[in-house]
Amino acid sequence: MKICGGYLVSYAGLRQSARMDKMQASLGFTLDRPRLMGIINVTPDSFSDGGLFDAPETAVAQAQKLVRDGADILDLGGESTRPGARVVPPDEEQARVIPVIEQLRAAGLDVPISIDTRNAATARAALAAGATLVNDVSGLTYDREMAAVVAEIGCPVVIMHAKGTPETMQHNPQYEDVVADVYEALARQIDQATNAGIARDLIVTDPGIGFGKTLEHNVTLMKHLARFHDLGCPVLLGASRKRFIGTLSGVETASERVPGSLAAALFGAAQGVQLLRVHDVAETKQALDVWMAIDGEDDE
Ligand code: HH2
């Protein structure tokens, strides 16, 4: 237990306060310590690994590698949501991700699979193929059917904050107070989700680093991640290899931003973030293992 950013952070306390029994039943593990969500972009154009895993065989091999490396969840996406990305029609998106999910399940992979999509039809098809949860960067606002699909199936869902759409979101985003504005938007989106029949204890929230945010907005959100625990849901941080890390460190090539990504992940872990969405699972696991061993609560 410790104070960070003015908040008392304890993973055990967070687990109780966020009432995670349903979540635990769906995911098969507790969120009383930071868990790793390994990213596989089955796309030709993702900002850091576009084109590397866009064939089913390479995506499956990468997924299996990430699990060996220590991923607790896999996050599979068939549409890049980097700034300015082209909208991918749902049938094209499904043709990318569904065979990968099917092959992973056929091969006996039993870790939870998250489908990173804004489209209800893709979410439904992915869940039918063996996905466990939905990760929607639009926070259920892009496709009007998404909330109903998640409610009907009763799966966990990540509600992320984004200002605008990937096509336009970096066009001069503005906030009065970025932390309060993002917090209030997420609180509204959580209410809308529960009104649509989604159980509150199946919701994960995410302030959406890089989605309609300037460098200053991202840094301020990172600094105040612990504030988002007040929403009463587990918090996910997706900072891995993002542009703000490149800007802060002067590293242009996204795949070379691993050390900066580790710094961001540990900063999130220190604020009680329960899920870290990362490209570099082995590296993040090593950093977290050391951090947790030193920062453990045994000496209270
Ligand atoms: N970031 C990206 C995609 N999905 N989901 C959540 N919940 N949080 C995030 O921060 C997040 C996300 C963007 O990263 P990446 O998938 O690596 O790139 P691309 O969108 O270009 O495929």
119-158: per-residue pLDDT in tens? Answer: 999 999 999 999 999 999 999 999 999 999 999 999 999 9
Q: Is 33 a catalytic residue?
A: no
Which residue among 82, 96, 241, 242 is the active-site one? 242
Q: pTM to 2 decimals?
A: 0.93
Picking from 42, 60, 40, the residue whose alpha carbon sits closest to that of residue 51 is: 42
H or E stretch covering 268 = helix 258-270
First and final CA of the chain: distance in angstroms?
8
> Over the stretch 74-98, which tens digit does the pLDDT of each residue have?
999 999 988 888 899 999 999 999 9
**Contact 209 CB / ligand 1 (< 6 Å):** yes
Model pLDDT, residue 165: 78
Atom of ligand 1 nearest to the CA of 236: 7
pLDDT surpassing 80 at residue 167: no
Distance CA 186, CA 182 (A): 6
**Contact 161 CB / ligand 1 (< 6 Å):** no
Q: Is 144 a catalytic residue?
A: no
Q: Which of 37, 39, 225, 236 to mutate to test the pocket of ligand 1 (most atoms within 8 A of CB)?
A: 39
